[in-house]
Structure 1
Amino acid sequence: MYSSFRRYLGDLREETLLGSIRDSLASVKVQKFQLVTLDPHPKDGGVFVRFKYQASNEDHALKTIKEEIEKCFVESGGVSSWIGRRRTKVWVVQGNPWPEDMNRFASKMIKISFDGPDVPEEALYSLLRPYGRISDITDVGPAPAGTLRSTTVNFERLKAATIARNTIHGLSVQVPGGSTTRLRLLTVYIPEFKLYKWLKANTLERLYTPAPSVLPSEEVWQERKDAKDAIRAYLTDQPTTVAFVHGPQGSGKTTMVESVTKECNRNRLLKIMWKEDPRNRLSRTAEIQTGYRPVFSFLNSMNNLVDLASVGLIGQKAGFSSSIEEQLQQTLDIVATALKKVGALHREQIEKEMEKRDKEGGSSKESKRPQQDSTKGRSQDHDGRRGYVAGNGVMSELGVGDEKINDEAAREGKRENRGEEKEDGNKRQKNDVKASEPLPVVVIRSYASKGGLRREEIMNVIASWAARLAESQASLKRLASRLRAGAEFLMMTIFSALPSKPLNYIALYDADSSNALSFVKQKLHRNNADLGLTDEDTAYVERLGGRSSDLESLVYKVDTGASIKDAVEDIINRGVGELRKNAFGDDAEDAKNLPWTREQAWSVMKNLAKDGQVWIDLIPYYDVLFNFPFKGDESALRSMEEAELINIATHNGRPSVIRPGRPVYKYVFERLVNDPIFRATQEITYNEKLIAAATETIKSCEVELLSLKEIRTAFSRYSIWRDPANNRANYLLGQMHNAESTLQKLQATNAELKKVFRTGSGN
């Protein structure tokens, strides 16, 4: 509303403002300045001035023209804004502005995407600081398939962010290494104000409520239907256990959980987004999302300083500070107490309703039940003839068994009892379901992300908390993760805390080729872009496999005008750039920070890039693990799986085979392996490691042979039939021969590979 009012007021004064700007610019004569056009941008409240000039030094000329224009504006009194304030400041547009008129309103936060290598934080700060003070620049995180890596910049003032977005968008920046990166700026509008949320909920959302979102692949993927039914069944059951929703990144776990929760009309109490942050922001995020008040996060730093000072004075801590685990445990304990109170109050209400209904039902049954004679009633309960024949004391004297037994009446009584028991069982089941309906659903997301050295401790806190909630039946717990290793670790932790309770494990998988193709056709038809897929288009779609995020990216690119072939090629090419950076690092220093070596990454990719189809392309796990360059280093393979470079499939609970982390990675690996320069670089580095190992083998054999020579000289007279030293020497000579042959072959191979650098091409 604020933006619309300002825009309408600006439209009324547009001609006057443009005329004032023309008059002020008419007096600018430096560098043969010549005004071309004035392009107003009503949405952000500015004007783009297009002009011509003549100069030998472009930077100096633009600086001079900018200073002269500001001087002319000062002399003329400036340009009036929509509220009457006079402005005299101008900025040089360095990029290619994008004057859009979409509903992306101005914000202090802008998102900068890198179309190329990442721009260092120092360079971004130097580029953006002239427009206004910057509060924070977030770290560049991993991006989904088909999207650019990005960072978020927070300005202190709205005006600074708006100016930066309109002047820097599309600018090409030089990065270390000689590459060029094109910046793409986008406004990020996050309404965090309670007043705005209240107004929106009570005005727009009451007048217009959009249709509930449906999972994009629900209609064509049977696997997703099964997973959705499993989640729905869990929601209708008693909260006695924990459900794990597991699947690869981009498989739609969050969308499915939210969709089923809304369909079942269940409230989600909290949704913890676990991030890799070893600082106090971790506990503060949990406190905010759980409604833990008040929050004095600044006291943690003060307590740490007090403890540090006490160590220097008395040699031990004063006990003021607490670890992240303790802070998190305290927050979750309070949440658990609140959930238990809510659950107990709800059960009490349900029990009162059940007692009231039982009394009403019991009185009606008593009034309808026919009165039976005492003899008939006794005959249904006991066959008195047995006691009469046996003569067991009082029973025979009473003569209860003299009369006939009414078998039909007995059977009717049993049927009536069974019917009542069945009816009571159904009532109890309905009451149990009803008792669990209003309970909140606790969703914990991204708990298996990297958490540094305290990752296991934090996950233990989560596991113990979830187990306590399950035992107390205070809420329904659901944990979603994209990492199988993290899910297995947390499952084992909770299983140890709940040994007698079964754990629900709900997995989401990629679709097969036919379902993936049906999904693409359905989405294109729904978006009025049904192209009628040819055999070539079908083959290109099959390259993406069944990963939901890749298929969504394909549909988006086709909707924007790209062909299916170009869209798939763009996804693969972007994957090549991302994989080269994530798996091998930008340079040698960056590669040292990776939890695996370049040789290990190259070995896996080269094997996975061999001939084969997307769905059967795999290599044996233990064959890779116990051979060079891993040599039993299982942590490197697990780290590569966490980074989604590979996927380790299991059989009977043990690792079995290794597949690409995403179906499209099979073709990404092929592109990397078939790049002659990159292949030669990695092969030379890989062979150098083998050459070093062969050289070390030869040297160790030489040293041992010299020792055997001395042993043979000293103890040869004690050997009667065979000489053990001679046998060992023959073995070592064979090892030296094999190592020397390998060494010569590898050196010859490296010599051939180095020729690629001179020619710039290769097979």
Structure 2
Amino acid sequence: MQTTRRVFFNPTSIPSLRTKKPQNRDFCNAGYVARAGLRKGNGAGMGRWRSVRKESTETGEDSTGHITAHPNEGILFFDNLFPLKLHWILRLPFRGDRSLSDLLVRFNNQTLGPYEPLSMVKRAIPSSIPLKVTEILPRLKDGGAFVKFSHQDGITAKEIEGLVTGYLREHPIKPWFNPFRRIKSSLVVGKPWLEDLYRFPSRRIRVEFCPTSPEKQAAELSQETLYSLFRRYGKIGEITSQSSESKILPKYAYVDFARTRHAIMAKNCMHGFTAKSGGGEAGTVIRLAFEPTMKSHWIREWLVNHPRVVIPAVAALVATFTVAVFDPIRTFFIKAKIDHAFKIKDNRIYKWFKSQATDIFTFRSSRAEEAGLGAIWDDRKEVIEQLQTWLMETADTFVVVQGPRGSGKKELIFEQALKGRKNTLLIDCKPIQEARGDSATIAAAAVSVGYRPVFSWMNSISSLIDLAAQGTIGVKSGFSETLDAQLGKIWQNTATALKQVALQHRKKDEKDVSLADDDWLEAHPECRPVVVIDNFLHKNEESSVVYDKISEWAAGLTTANIAHVIFLTNDISYSKSLSKALPDRVFRQIALGDITPQVAKKFVITHLDSEEGESSETPEKLTARQRRRDLEQLDECIEILGGRLTDLEFFARRLKTGQTPKRAVAEIIEQSASEIMKMYLLTVDKEGRKWSPEQAWYLVKTLAENENLRYNEVLLTNTFASSLTPAASNGESVLEALSAAELITIKTYKGRPQTIKAGRPVYQAAFRMLCEDQVLKSRLDLAILTELTKIETKNIDKYETELNSLGSLPKQPREVGPRVQFLLSKLAASQTKVESWEKEIGALKKVLTNEF
């Protein structure tokens, strides 16, 4: 038996593993390592390895990218020689000028010399195996190396593979960087492609089926054939064939291994292999390439491809961020508005300057108004004291102050009942209700309570995003919120701020310090802030969302003892809206009407005395009685004007200009008549009205004759019960709309509407003035009579139709007779009315023809 000489392997004889001068490497040549050639020396004695000094790189022999095995030669691939996870170092531009192999050799020479990467190849090939190593090609990216060897004729490369594999199984070699996995080896059966491209290993391999020559056609290998070819290299997770409908050439399949090193071994050993079994007559060449299983933009693509999960999650994150960041800021600004922290008029320095410069900066009109209102507050002293008493009680209910416009509700609350009280909040419903669109409504509500920052414009953008998402994924994204939800957030933040302001008065040394917050607030009603809601139910006919949210929120404030709530309203039907929020509570009500004639006269005289006393240049103060002889007419004029504060103040200002009381009243009446004509009687721009001009004129004409009208009697008239205008067909809705527009005032008795009066006392005189205009009266009476005639004509047509139906019966039964007589009497009565109205219409037309 021939004795095989032991092969000694010296890694330092390989030029690539020597300590050499640093060489520059660019990004495109990532993974470059010099190729080492080994051959046997000719010296006597034991053979040794010498380096073959020829230049070669990973681009293969003669830069072809391939290595070939001649007869009696073979190639083994050893894996797990280099740390696979460190291939990312090749991507770093700041890694230095040394190659990765130089760095590993330096590190291993200093600490772990026996575990140098390529020295483990020598240990893996025992001296008993008859082979001669001719070349070693390290593959840093693949974490292994190709070992090219030659053998004698008596043994095949396949047998040598079995010997090496069996030796590694019996004598496992484990590298220092992976002590739990041994080195494996396998015979290269294909034609490996040694590329130095920017490609890195993965568990998925793309297997392309190529013909053996250009003129031939490749056969697509089945999954069974692929399994039999690749299973020897490791466990396969999945084999995916190309779709039969795909037109991509060459045909391909995907083989997914359980481990990346299994895929590396298969790729380096099987690339370029010609499959005879299942590959057709000429066979099929398989070309292998790593397929990235994780795409470069996988996060972005996952987000784009899963909108049903991503969009609601983003909406939740945005909402969470908004609550965590902006809510404390908003609560701070609301608290500042409640306790007037930024109000300059409450500043001490401002008050001092104001007291020093009172004579310079105080205007006459403000003094006159203060003096005039003083007379009214004396008359309403009981109401003021009642309000102050309610604010000191623990009862959790509303306080409703109802009265017509100009009755001084707001001034009564802030200048008298809440005078000197710091923690107050005024919410004006008028700008909130009159805002156009949801964004404007949200902005107005936020301004009223000091809620900032508010991004009302985002509501429109989020609505568009929500609409687009609903059209794309079929469900709402959750970005946009309804007006109800947005207002709920504003009121909720306001309630939080109100509670914090109320609890600021709590001290640690109090007797009831052990009480809970709610119990302490209930025991100390004097510490609760006061919320005044002005213009409640303003334009209530348009929408009730705003008022429903406000009333529900106010109910929560009162029941939780957070704040006192006072509603200021002009609408007499406020109980309908508030009863929804507190159905089991009785409201505390205060009705403010017009002031009495005596107080009204005192109010006007006080205005004049204050003004003329300031304008007097003589040291002696002259009163209005001494300077104006015509003040004796005040009693008659005030009786016409009534006790409405706005009209009385307007009257006093006219008197200051030098007009006589009668002249001033005449101009006020004339101006009111013009307003009534423009707002209620003219037919121009009728859009949005809930009444017809005929119905408004009927009330004007009737109230000019009688100051009080029966509510139900008005509803029974044909003008209200059978109006031809679609928007004015419901009589009660018409009267409520006219009451909200202040043409009339509806008085109640035990909760039910009883009487109808003029909206303002001066309107009574304006109604009479309008009725004195014969041309106007004839024109509007003509419109009413024309409408009544049409109504009766419809009734006549209805009666005639029923009579024709009864007359068409073949035999007249006896029971039909009373019905026929009833219809005939109705027909005759209607005809009589029509004839009478026609005569009146003729007379009215004659007036319109002859009069200007």
TM-score under structure 1 length normalisation:
0.58
User: What SS does the aligned partner of 1:479 have?
Assistant: strand
Give the conservation status (yes or no) of the 8 Å contact 2:399–2:588. yes
Q: Say yes or no: does 1:569 pair with 2:666.
A: yes
| 1:266–1:441 contact (8 Å) kept in structure 2 | no
Q: Select 2:559's aligned residue among 463, 471, 474.
A: 471
Cα shift at 1:591: 2.3
Residues 720-752 of structure 1: per-residue CA shift (max 9 Å, x gap): xxx222222222221121111111111111111
Residue 458 of structure 1: CA displacement? 1.7
On the 8 A contact 1:224/1:508 being kept in 2, the answer is: no
Post-superposition CA distance 1:127-172 (Å, at most 9, x none): xxxxxxxxxxxxxxxxxxxxxxxxxxxxxxxxxxxxxxxxxxxxxx
Equivalent residue in structure 2 for 1:745, among 815, 827, 836: 836
Q: 1:446 to 1:215 in 2, by over 3 A?
A: farther
d(CA) in 2 for partners of 1:208 and 1:432?
A: 42
Cα distance in structure 2, aligned partners of 1:318 and 1:452: 33
Distance 1:220 1:334 in 2: 38
Alpha carbons of structure 1 residues 293 and 751: separation in structure 2 relative to 1, 3 Å? same
Q: Aligned with 2:566: secondary structure? A: strand
Aligned to 2:509: 352
- Among 713, 737, 754, the alignment partner of 1:639 is 737
State yes or no: 1:290 paired with 2:443. no
The yes-or-no answer on 1:447 pairing with 2:536 is: yes
Match of 2:440 among 270, 277, 281: 281
CA contact (8 A) 2:409 2:592 kept: yes
Taking a change above 3 Å as real, the CA distance of residues 305 and 519 of structure 1, as seen in their structure-2 partners, is same
Gaps of 5+ in 1: 1-192, 357-430
In structure 2, distance between residues paired with 1:568 and 1:314 = 69
Post-superposition Cα deviations, 1:254-285, rounded to whole Å, max 9, x if no partner, equal 11111125534333134334332242222212
Aligned CA distance change for structure 1 residues 656 and 580 (closer, same or farther; 3 Å): same
Deviations 1:470-497 (A, max 9, x none): 1221222111112222x2233313322x
Equivalences for residues 265-664 of structure 1 within 5 A: 265-275=421-431, 276-279=434-437, 280-347=439-506, 349=507, 352-354=509-511, 435-450=524-539, 453=542, 455-485=543-573, 487-496=574-583, 499=584, 501-528=585-612, 529-530=624-625, 531-532=628-629, 536-585=633-682, 587-588=683-684, 590-610=685-705, 617-631=707-721, 633-664=731-762
Distance verdict in 2 for CA 1:221–1:660, change over 3 Å = farther
Select the structure with the greater relative contact order (CA < 8 A; seq sep ≥ 6): 1
Residues of 2 paired with 1:260 and 1:237: CA distance?
A: 18
Q: 1:316 to 1:645 in 2, by over 3 A?
A: farther
SS at match of 1:655: strand
Q: Where does residue 783 of structure 2 map in the other structure? A: 685
- Counterpart residue number, 1:672: 770
- Give the Cα–Cα distance (whole angstroms) in 2 for the partners of residues 223 and 202 of structure 1: 30
Change in 2 beyond 3 A, CA 1:434/1:319: closer
8 A contact 2:403–2:591 mirrored in 1: yes
1:28-64 Cα offsets, whole Å, 9 max, x none, are xxxxxxxxxxxxxxxxxxxxxxxxxxxxxxxxxxxxx
Please tell me the root mean square deviation across aligned C-alpha atoms, in Å: 3.0
Deviations 1:281-305 (A, max 9, x none): 2221221232222211111111122
- 1:205 maps onto 2:294 in alignment: no
When residues 221 and 532 of structure 1 are mapped into structure 2, their CA distance, relative to the original with a 3 A threshold, is farther
Counterpart of 2:396, as a letter, is T
Deviation at 1:355, TM superposition (A): 6.0
For 1:37, the equivalent position in structure 2 comes to: none
The answer as to 2:368 corresponding to 1:231 is: no
Letter in 1 for 2:596: D
Provide the rounded CA distance (Å) in 1 between the counterparts of 2:647 and 2:435. 28
Larger radius of gyration: 2
Are positions 1:729 and 2:820 aligned together?
yes
State the Cα distance separating 1:432 from its structure 2 match: 9.1
How many angstroms does 1:433 deviate by? Answer: 11
Amino acid at match of 1:272: D
Identify if the C-alpha distance between structure 1 residues 552 and 624 changes in structure 2 by more than 3 Å, giving closer, same or farther.
same
Structure 2 CA distance for partners of 1:273 and 1:457, relative to 1, 3 Å:
closer
Contact 2:528 2:561 in 1 (8 A): no
Q: Is the 8 A contact 2:631 2:661 kept in 1?
A: no
1:200–1:532 distance in 2 versus 1, CA, 3 Å: farther
CA contact (8 A) 1:223 1:508 kept: no
- CA distance in 1 between partners of 2:767 and 2:572 (Å): 22
- The one-letter code matched in structure 2 to 1:445 is D
The 5-angstrom pairing of residues 5-16 of structure 1 reads: none
Structure 2 counterpart of 1:512, which letter?
A: T
Letter in 1 for 2:838: Q
Q: Which has the higher helix share?
A: 1
TM-score w.r.t. length of structure 2: 0.52
Contact persistence 1:647–1:660 (CA under 8 A): yes
Q: What's the counterpart of residue 270 of structure 2?
A: none
Change in 2 beyond 3 A, CA 1:744/1:200: farther
The CA deviation at 1:623 is 0.5
C-alpha separation in 2, matches of 1:550 and 1:725: 63
In the alignment, the residues of structure 2 paired with residue 545 and residue 572 of structure 1 have an alpha-carbon distance, to the nearest angstrom, of: 12
Matched to 2:576, the amino acid is F
CA distance in 2, matches of 1:249, 1:564: 23
Distance 1:745 1:592, change over 3 A: farther
Quick check: 1:244–1:480 contact (8 Å CA) kept in 2?
yes
Distance 1:658 1:547 in 2: 17
